[in-house]
Amino acid sequence: MVSVEQVVDGRPGRPASVGTIYKGLNDNPAPVLFRQSLETELTAWLGQQLPARPTDQPVLLCVRQLLVSETVTSSILADKPIAGAELALDV
């Protein structure tokens, strides 16, 4: 088995935003940002979700693409957000 030792940002230009979502009653577009950095946040999150065991082989993940999107569709009763994500990694 493997454990993620570190995540690095290999996206061209390393943009701060990874996409757009819609917030509030007026569905205002808002960028999706990490509080710290993509590398710091994903390294910490993966460490919590997949804790390393003594027998695991440590790996480095390189994020090549990360894009989240949200589309809001309206119906008579309510708006319905549909979310999506694209992710490409190298180990």
Q: What confidence category does residue 78 fall into, taking pLDDT thresholds of 50, 70 and 90?
A: low
User: Do residues 19 and 56 touch, judged by C-beta distance below 8 A?
Assistant: no
pLDDT in tens, 23-60: 877 778 899 999 999 999 999 999 999 999 999 999 99
pTM greater than the 0.75 cutoff? yes
Phi, psi torsion values for 39, nearest 5 degrees:
-60, -50
Structure tokens at 10: 């290999």
In a 3-state reduction of DSSP, which class is residue 55? coil
Bridge partners of 64, per DSSP, are none
d(CA 1, CA 56): 5
Structure tokens at 42: 């994903």
